[in-house]
């Protein structure tokens, strides 16, 4: 699912039943049909293209080995918090919102509107989820890695990388969220066991509360320029 209706539906399910999707990707996007064409124009995707109903977007053949493909495809859309080594955290609402962003990023970097196929982001093709996470961390913290990810994007989507676009604003939001996570490493450095003393544990909880408040449904929809009505 992606776009306005999917974001609203996702929020409605969460508010009504407290259910999170946990597996948002291009493989389960809801496409909208208008005038015999299928595409995201009724939603805030703003990719400014349609594709024929006879030829829906498909995933281009990958050069990865069978063992690598599932990890790459899964990790590509997973929130950064879920890709770190160690015990996985509780899946939160903002983790699903982050997955929506990766759908936008993948479409921007790898969708070809001429052949109507999805390619792949070579920089994120790794054999383990932790390695995918490390590469995505560099995407948020190193300009060269960011540019490399979008180096083969179709010219039609280049305007999305201009300052002030909804895509760049989302990119900036999640980059700040990832960099804010470094504060956890700073306060827990030196603890070689999982157990933290009460003072440090309280600091970690406060940092995570701040991160939760950074990425909300309201923030996400405001950046998309869409109402929050469910």
Q: How far apart are CA 63 and CA 69, in angstroms?
A: 9
230 domain-assigned: no
195 domain-assigned: yes
- Rounded to two decimals, the pTM is 0.77
The gap from C-alpha 118 to its chain's centroid, in whole angstroms, comes to 16
58 domain-assigned: yes
Total of domains in the chain: 1
Q: Are 126 and 72 in contact (CB under 8 A)?
A: yes
Supply the pLDDT for residue 220. Answer: 92
Supply the pLDDT for residue 47. Answer: 36
Could you say which residues of the chain have pLDDT below 70?
1-23, 29-74, 230
Return contacts of 218-223, CB within 8 angstroms, 24+ apart.
Answer: 219/173, 220/7, 220/97, 220/100, 220/170, 221/7, 223/166, 223/169, 223/170, 223/173
Supply the pLDDT for residue 60. Answer: 37
229 domain-assigned: no
Segments forming the whole domain that contains residue 172? 3-224
30 domain-assigned: yes
Supply the pLDDT for residue 72. Answer: 44
Supply the pLDDT for residue 219. Answer: 94
């Amino acid at each position: 699912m992606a776009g306005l209706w999917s974001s609203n539906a996702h929020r409605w399910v969460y508010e009504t039943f407290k259910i999170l999707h946990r597996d948002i990707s291009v493989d389960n996007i809801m496409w909208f049909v208008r005038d015999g064409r299928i595409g995201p124009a009724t939603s805030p995707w703003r990719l400014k293209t349609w594709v024929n109903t006879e030829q829906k977007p498909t995933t281009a053949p990958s050069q990865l080995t069978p063992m690598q493909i599932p990890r790459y495809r899964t990790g590509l859309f997973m929130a950064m918090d879920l890709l770190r080594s160690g015990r996985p955290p509780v899946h939160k609402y903002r983790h699903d919102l982050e997955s929506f962003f990766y759908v936008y990023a993948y479409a921007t970097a790898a969708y070809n509107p001429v052949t109507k196929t999805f390619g792949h982001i070579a920089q994120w093709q790794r054999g383990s989820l932790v390695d995918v996470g490390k590469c995505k961390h560099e995407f948020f913290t190193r300009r060269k890695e960011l540019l490399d990810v979008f180096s083969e994007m179709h010219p039609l989507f280049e305007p999305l990388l201009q300052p002030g676009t909804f895509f760049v604003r989302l990119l900036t939001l999640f980059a700040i969220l990832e960099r804010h996570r470094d504060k956890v490493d700073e306060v827990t450095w030196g603890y070689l066991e999982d157990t933290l003393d009460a003072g440090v544990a309280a600091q970690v909880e406060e940092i995570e509360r701040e991160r939760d408040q950074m990425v909300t449904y309201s923030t996400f929809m405001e950046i998309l320029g869409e109402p929050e009505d469910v």
